[in-house]
Structure 1
Amino acid sequence: MRIETLGINHSAQEFLAEQNITKLYPPQADAVKAGLLEGQNILVAAPTASGKTLIAMLAMMEFLSTKQGKIVYLTPLRALASEKFSEFKKMEKLDFGRRIKAAISTGDFDSVDKESENADIVVLTNEKMDSLIRHGAEWVDKIGLVIADEVHLIGDKDRGPTLEVVLTKLKELPAKPQIVGLSATITNSNELAEWLGCKLVSSDWRPVPLAEGVFDGGTILWNNGDSDEIESSIRGPPIDLCLDTIKKGGQSLVFAETRTRSASLAAKGSDAVFKFLSDSEKKYLEEISQKILDNNEHTDLIKTLSSLLKKGVGFHHAGLNQNCREIVETEFRNGKIKLLASTPTLAAGVNLPARRVIISSIVRYDVKAGANKPISILEYKQLCGRAGRPQYDKFGEAIIVGNANSSDLTEYYINGTPEPIESQLADDKALRIHILSHIVSNPGIKGEEILGFFQKTLAGLQIRKNTLSFSIEIAKKFLLRENLIVQKAERFAATEFGKKVSMLYIDPITAIYFKRGLEAVSENNAHTFGFLHLVSSCEEFFPKFSLRNKDYETLSTLIENKSSELIEPISEYDCNRSLLALHSWISESSEIHLSDNLGIESGDMHRMVETADWLVYCLYELAKLAERADLLEELSTLRKRISYGIKQELVELVQIRGIGRVRARKLYDHGIRTVSDLQQIPVNKLAEIDKIGPTIADNIKSQLKKVR
């Protein structure tokens, strides 16, 4: 099916032609035949790289050219949201007789931003969409098209319930927006389509054929019955498989079960990969390696990554900061990195295909189970989805590294059927969060109406009515007991506490824990360390790192020294390593110190800072509600200290744009300790201070003029 036969707007045709899109892939053609361009609700269940983004764009362009209203594009991850926003931003050049505007909104769950309000296309995480609905954002009623990416993640215990509730609410909007769901190939896609009220477009088609196999005893046994011998070396099977592809001009992506193993595998392959690089590639990668060193503190992790990039290999995991991850992703896409070792998180995130994907182990450590467990068939299929680069390869290969059990692995994973998607909404935590949210949005709602709403979810389709009703009653009793909601006759409404908790987007249990902590805080005392403990030990805080043997003594001493700041008596056994990291961070520890002494890398610290900032903000808002005005200044100051990683004495200086933790410390050490000091120092003297310079000095001075 060719683009010119679709009858879409001429500007849209030109836009697609500029991107060399003239013909539809089979799943795209099937979606059009199913009524995509006529406003029909569609669920597309198809493999990675089968063109689902273009299906979304066709629906968007048709909507923008023929209808008024807003489009929301929902994704599970911020990284995916950023990637999609970059693609949709290009659509602003379309000429539909009006200016098209795209926006992205992924952070700050306690606000409604103006940019989204004024945009035609809004890219959101599922959580942000949920938050906007809770806040009663007026533009939600104007939504005419909903595109939900990675719909199969409804089966994810952590992220699934929010997506399920959001889709239930959106499909119930009075305007009845068109729903376009994009999903991996799943077993019960019919059930999912029935729940969403969608026509199902199911396809196994891929633009690049995929061969799947198991590597065992030096031989790849392919699913079509063929086999290939692989040259063996001391580097180990995963790297031997990578090198086999690189020799033939392809790239390899190897999935490792841990961060340590991903870096280790990259190191094992580095010298061998280096031999395949051209002189120009070596020169280019030297520059990339230096760029990593120039833009980051020289922790062991950074130095290792930098040295490996020179050789055409890299690793990718959550310990790397955003800057490093983006460089690795870009250079892998550019074909400069030949071998990339990654933890499986990459499979669910950004689009980074390779000719050959190697799954070095089919087990993962399960934190809740406290043991290694085999991955699901669905996860295996997602990892395989990265094999084959549509623009570069005529085929893709996905290989499991076996261990004398190749026939079992072939039967279970390669020939196996992915697990059906099951709703996770009946989980205790999910129900108390979303029942509270629903009552907040519908004050005076009756019990039977609450049950009625949840019967419209996927859980309502999959779980017996009596079972769901019983679980809802338990959650309501909990919310009533803790004074988050009240009941009058048959009707329910949220208390001020309940409304605040829902708007803050935290688990009611966390809010209750915070409330009790705030009640226990004495007046006329600093409680910074106590607040850090409160935040780092709650359910929402992430990432949490358990204490190592050598950390107990450090923490014990710290607790003793900070005893006056505690909210209640604690011991080191009540804490985690993340508390040590947060305390070190606001004491101005460097990334090198955090890495060397606590094993906390910059990527981890960044996520801790984001989470802690949000949770301290929640504490601040709950303290306001509890009329604890005596705590507000300290909590506000703590937020600034967490955001910048500074001691209290630098808080005033960092209010000036361009002065971060490093420059603030340099200024302070030169005797410039307040905004008033900054105003008095001559600009030429300010410029002479290390890390300042003429440009920054001028910028600081111009800001100070505005302050006056």
Structure 2
Amino acid sequence: MEEVATMLKSNNFPEEVAKFLHSEWGISHLFPPQKEALKPLMEGQNALICIPTASGKSLLAYLSIIKQTIVMKPGTQAVYIVPLKALAREKYEDLKALSGKLGIRVSLGVGDAGEDGRGIHRADIMVCTSEKLDSMIRTNNSFLSNVSVVIADEFHLLNDVSRGPTLEINMTRILQLPNKPQIVALSATVGNAEALASWLNAKLVESNWRPIDLEYATLAQLEVEPRLVQSQNNNPHLKPPRTLSGPKSSPSWAVLKDTIASNGQLLIFVGTRKSAQSEAKKLSERLNKFVIKEDLNLLDEAKEVGAKIKSNATSSMGDELGNVISGGVAFHHAGLTSFQRKLIEEGFRQRKIWALIATPTLAAGVNLPAQRVLVRDVKRWDGGFMRPLPVMEVRQMMGRAGRPQYDKTGEAWILAKGNDQFELADDLSARYIHGDVEDVVSKLSHEPALRFHLLSMIANGGLETRKEIGSFFFSTFLGQSYGDIALKEQIDEMLNWLVDQRFIRSIGIDKKIDNETDLVEDWDDEIPEWALAAKSSVGVSLSKPTLPTEAKFGFSKANAYRELNHSNQTHVIHQGTKYKATDIGSRVSTLYIDPLSASILLKGMRRAVRRRVRGTEPVTAFGLTHLVTRTPDFFAMWAKSSDLSPDSEVSLKSSLHYDEYLDKAVLEENHLGQVKSAWCLEMWMEEFDLRVIEKKLGVSPGDIYYRIDLSTWLLFASRELLRIDDVFAGHHQHTIDELSKELDLLRQRIRSGCKADLLDLVSLKGVGRARARTLASMGVRQPSQLLSMSKNQVSKLKSLRGWGPKIVENLIEQVKSYKVNHLTERPRSDDEPLPGEEHLS
């Protein structure tokens, strides 16, 4: 404790911090990378910290927060940005425990329903996802003015196509704040750390030091061959190869048995959900037989977790999960419910579960280390092909090996499969163990990201002229990497599209700004004539290397839609051209939806109004639900090859609703996936059991809940856009009001998963659609009718499965309280007149 206490005292930290770190987290000394990073951090410098998992990055972030908000700038705030909800909750719990000793408040913002959005920014420390931070800035762009330190965790995910652009825009905004908050970026090892540090104006701290050794090895024909040891020792010793006992047909079992023999736990990464479930089932069966044969007492606690999963299961996948956990093994992927994921993660941390089979998303999520990691699959299905995983991603998986509190050495193995396994093992070692990690590459140039953030910066970011817009995007990591020439045409094209869609409008030209010549023009005397001729062609750029792109399937290009494409030639925009967001554009930005989604929803809702007014074609709940599945913000289900058959149930369902569609995908495969998604939501709100939906459509409960969240958000956006749309110039207001009510009703039904007659009952706390239907079958249709139930009815209700005396009594008390509060008129403080206010009779 002495080392940490001395350091903290020299930096004027409150005494409570050292005591807490020692007594609660067992921290008595600092690791070498922490010592190196602390000096610039305590001086308030920006820092990019690239050190391995479990080397103490989080502690550095926490100490930076305390130093800035309590020691150096009391009364200021901190923002802790994380990429995933699960990781946000983990950091929130850490900071909440630490801040409790210091009398400061911590808030959590991850965009969940029921979250107090207004209270998040009032806390001293705000833990949030990058998307939530972006959303808060859009609604209140001044709230960062009191922030003195920003932590960006998992900063290498700037490379991620879905999360990276928002993080990049947030960091660009923060870099330009007049209050200049300290930036602390925490990252895995990346290929271009110097470039990232330069962009952040940050001190770069890099290290391969780990608190325990990490042995990297390949596994071929059950032979484990160590390839590299990441060690505290400068001259690490490689152990000789060894052969595992077990069947060659099941290397995963041989690895698990060997891991259990050393009292360790195993993480296995596989490429697909199906593989995760299949592997977990096989290993669970083998482990169960092994325990019985050897008369071992290894599965008692696992069986308790499995029983809890099964008792709450609402799907066959939940049943299967409970069964495999009873055998000491679990699978983990995005199709699980949050309840299931929580139980699995807790069970693994508490060493009740011996092996966890996961898809790669776990590597970027919660902190679940194990003694040993096996990367079984190094390829995944991507864009119609099996592609090798990036080195950075595999290193993240392997970095999960080794638990400082339990292990002296962590072991990370890659499995070689197929023919010539030993030759393949050498290749895998060269690429994933000894190979260079890829550079982080900005994904902001992708059109969905660019149009999303371009509209936001005009509507809520204070950018007005084309020059200001160009300057801002040039200051992003994308602009710093490739220069403004590469961005110019893309920005001009997108500005023109946003104008055509009436999300922004041009309001003249700032005469003080010269129309500066494109930098390419300065090179004309050095460019051959054929290149000069090519320069005027669409898509040809005479600049630095072209921006990184990737194949896109489904939604990407706004101008791929014929009705949205304004011209074949990008109009060059004067640098002084001024822009302002329209009312619709501003609302699209604060609704936090892709402008292309807004365009599709607006077009669909206009068609719905015309249909209603003319009375010629139907506007149905299925048609409105299908409309939101058409947007790029909705993650539509995949149509299987069997669904493409004209006689498939999905194709027949599509034909049945043919005249109800308010918009339709060009590709039949995309259309059927969207029909399937709308059908899934329809079955949910018609109260079909999850097992029935799972069997008919092949969708897991976690996927259903995810699409419920997306659809309710997009239906709300549809209603808001319908209300603000001025295309009908004030006419047909009655029809618009009717459609708004229908959208509200549809949103409530999807959110609650019930028919309209249960909506009043499901508004009660503790009443879901199953309990509401039980009450309805007993003649209770309104909450107030609970108070009119006979004693026999109340007793019967208490005895039913899933109810019980406590639940029934709490419900009755809830209704009584509701009635008292609404029947008793209390004076309102906001009716009291202010001093000097004129009293109105």
Specify if TM > 0.5.
yes
Deviations 1:520-539 (A, max 9, x none): 00327652101111112221
User: Residue 465 of structure 2 aligns to which amino acid in structure 1?
Assistant: K
On the 8 A contact 1:623/1:629 being kept in 2, the answer is: no
Indicate conservation of the 8 Å contact 2:99/2:105, yes or no. Answer: yes
The question of whether the paired residues in 2 share the 8 Å contact of 1:105 and 1:123 is answered with: yes
Please give the alpha-carbon distance, in whole angstroms, between the structure 1 residues aligned to 2:409 and 2:795.
Answer: 58
Amino acid of the structure 2 residue aligned with 1:177? P
Q: Which residue of 2 aligns with 1:282?
A: 299
Moved more, 285-294 or 679-688: 679-688
Distance 1:221 1:53 in 2: 33
Structure 1, 517-526 or 595-604: larger mean CA deviation: 517-526
- Within the candidate set 68, 74, 78, 1:71 is matched to 78
1:218 has 2:222 as partner: yes
The 3 A distance-change label for structure 1 pair 620 and 166 is: same
**DSSP 3-state at the match of 1:329:** helix
Against the structure 1 CA distance between its residues 444 and 295, is the aligned structure 2 distance closer, same or farther, given a 3 Å change threshold? closer
Aligned partners of 1:687 and 1:693 also within 8 Å:
no
> Secondary structure of the equivalent of 1:176?
coil
- In 2: Cα distance, 1:649 partner to 1:567 partner: 27
Distance in 2, matches of 1:125 and 1:336, equals: 30
Instruction: Determine the structure 1 residue equivalent to 2:548.
Output: none
Are the aligned partners of 2:96 and 2:106 in contact in 1 as well (CA < 8 Å)?
Answer: yes
CA distance in 2, matches of 1:656, 1:31: 51
Matched, 1:590 2:590: no
Gapped runs of 5+ residues in structure 1?
none
Q: 2:273 aligns with which of 246, 259, 262?
A: 259
1:3 aligns with 2:4: yes
Q: Tell me, yes or no, if the aligned pair for 2:50 and 2:207 is still in contact at 8 Å.
A: yes
Aligned residue type for 1:641: R
Pair 1:311 & 2:406 matched: no
2:311 aligned with 1:294, yes or no?
yes
Matched, 1:388 2:402: yes
1:652 partner SS: helix
Tell whether 2:403 aligns with 1:399: no
Q: Which residue of 2 aligns with 1:647?
A: 755
Q: Distance in 2 between matches of 1:429 and 1:468?
A: 14
1:507-526 mapped onto 2 (5 Å cutoff)? 507-521=594-608, 522-523=611-612
> What SS does the corresponding residue of 2:210 show, helix, strand or coil?
coil
Residues 563-574 of structure 1 mapped to structure 2, 5 A cutoff: 565-567=660-662, 574=671
- SS of the residue corresponding to residue 158 of structure 1 reads coil
Question: 1:472 aligned to 2:528?
Answer: no
Q: Which of 300, 311, 323 is the equivalent residue of 2:339?
A: 323
Cα deviation for residue 673 of structure 1 reads 2.3
1:220-619 paired onto structure 2 within 5 Å = 220-224=224-228, 226-233=240-247, 235-274=249-288, 275=290, 281-297=298-314, 299-366=315-382, 369-403=383-417, 404=420, 405-442=424-461, 445-489=464-508, 490-521=577-608, 522-523=611-612, 527-542=620-635, 544-547=637-640, 549=642, 553-559=648-654, 562=657, 565-567=660-662, 574-576=671-673, 577-619=676-718
The counterpart of 1:92, out of the listed 80, 99, 102, is: 99
- The farther-off stretch of 527-536 and 442-451 is 442-451
Cα–Cα, structure 1 residues 676 and 657, in superposed 2: closer, same or farther, change >3 Å? same
1:318 counterpart letter in structure 2: A
Give 2:166's aligned amino acid. T
How much has 1:82 moved relative to structure 2?
A: 0.8
Measure how far apart 1:322 and its partner are: 1.0
Deviations 1:372-422, CA, capped at 9 Å, x for gaps? 100011111111111111111111111111132121111111110100111
**SS at 2:179's partner residue?**
coil
How far apart are 1:184 and its partner, in Å? 0.3
For each residue in 1:56-110, what CA deviation from the matched residue of structure 2 results, as whole angstroms up to 9, or x when unmatched?
1111222232122111100000011011111111023223xxx211110111699
Quickly say closer, same or farther: Cα 1:291–1:380, change in 2 above 3 A.
same
**SS where residue 648 of structure 2 aligns?**
helix
Contact 2:246 2:253 in 1 (8 A): no
Q: Which region of structure 1 is more displaced relative to structure 2, 550-559 or 418-427?
A: 550-559
The answer to whether the Cα contact below 8 Å between 1:443 and 1:492 also exists between their aligned partners in 2 is no
CA contact (8 A) 1:536 1:544 kept: no
Shift in Å, 1:276: 5.2
Q: How many residues matched?
A: 701
Distance in structure 2 (CA, Å) of the matches to 1:149 and 1:651: 41
1:39 aligns with 2:44: yes
Which is greater in Rg? Answer: 2
* 1:507 partner amino acid: D
- Take 1:332 and 1:65, find their aligned partners in 2: how far apart are those partners? 36
Aligned residue identity for 2:649: T
Select the structure with the greater relative contact order (CA < 8 A; seq sep ≥ 6): 1
Conserved 8 A contact 2:398-2:412: yes
What CA distance in whole angstroms lies between the structure 1 residues aligned with 2:501 and 2:95? Answer: 44
- Structure 2: give runs of 5+ residues left out of the alignment: 229-237, 509-576, 726-732, 824-841
How far is 1:587 from its partner?
1.1
Structure 1 vs Structure 2 CA RMSD: 2.3
CA contact (8 A) 1:109 1:505 kept: no
Give the Cα separation in 1 of the matches to 2:258 and 2:143. Answer: 54
Q: Deviations over 1:249-272 (max 9, x none)?
A: 111111111111112212222244
**Cα separation, 1, equivalents of 2:185 and 2:280:** 37
- Contact residue 256 and residue 342 of structure 1 kept, 8 A: yes
> How has the CA–CA distance of structure 1 residues 583 and 399 changed in structure 2, closer, same or farther, with 3 Å as cutoff?
same
Q: TM-score, normalised by structure 1?
A: 0.94
Select which of 96, 106, 110 maps to 1:106.
110
Q: Mean alpha-carbon deviation: is it higher for 86-95 or for 347-356?
A: 86-95
CA contact (8 A) 1:242 1:252 kept: yes
Amino acid paired to 2:459:
V
Q: Does 1:670 align with 2:689?
A: no
1:2 counterpart SS class: helix
Aligned to 2:812: 701
Between the aligned residues of both structures, percent identity stands at 35
CA distance in 2, matches of 1:550, 1:683: 52
Amino acid at match of 2:188: A
CA–CA distance in structure 1, aligned partners of residues 635 and 27 of structure 2: 42
Taking the aligned partners of 2:603 and 2:791, their CA distance within structure 1 comes to: 50
| Alpha-carbon contact 2:310-2:323 (below 8 Å) kept | no
Q: Give the equivalent residue in structure 2 for 1:58.
A: 63
Range 396-405 or range 264-273, more displaced? 264-273
Bigger mean CA deviation after superposition, 410-419 or 130-139: 130-139
Query: Does the Cα contact within 8 Å between 1:242 and 1:358 map onto a contact in 2?
Result: no
Say whether 1:133 aligns with 2:137: yes
Q: Is residue 178 from structure 1 mapped to residue 273 from structure 2 by the alignment? A: no
Q: Which amino acid is 2:606 matched to?
A: E
**Given the superposition, is the C-alpha separation of residues 315 and 560 from structure 1 closer, same or farther in structure 2, using an over 3 Å criterion?**
same
1:663-697 residue CA offsets vs partner (Å, 9 max, x unmatched): 11112222222345445434662452345444333
Q: Which amino acid aligns with 2:35?
A: A
- Aligned CA distance change for structure 1 residues 281 and 188 (closer, same or farther; 3 Å): same
Q: Which residue of 2 aligns with 1:625?
A: 724
CA distance in 2, matches of 1:399, 1:570: 44
Give 1:555 deviation, angstroms.
3.2
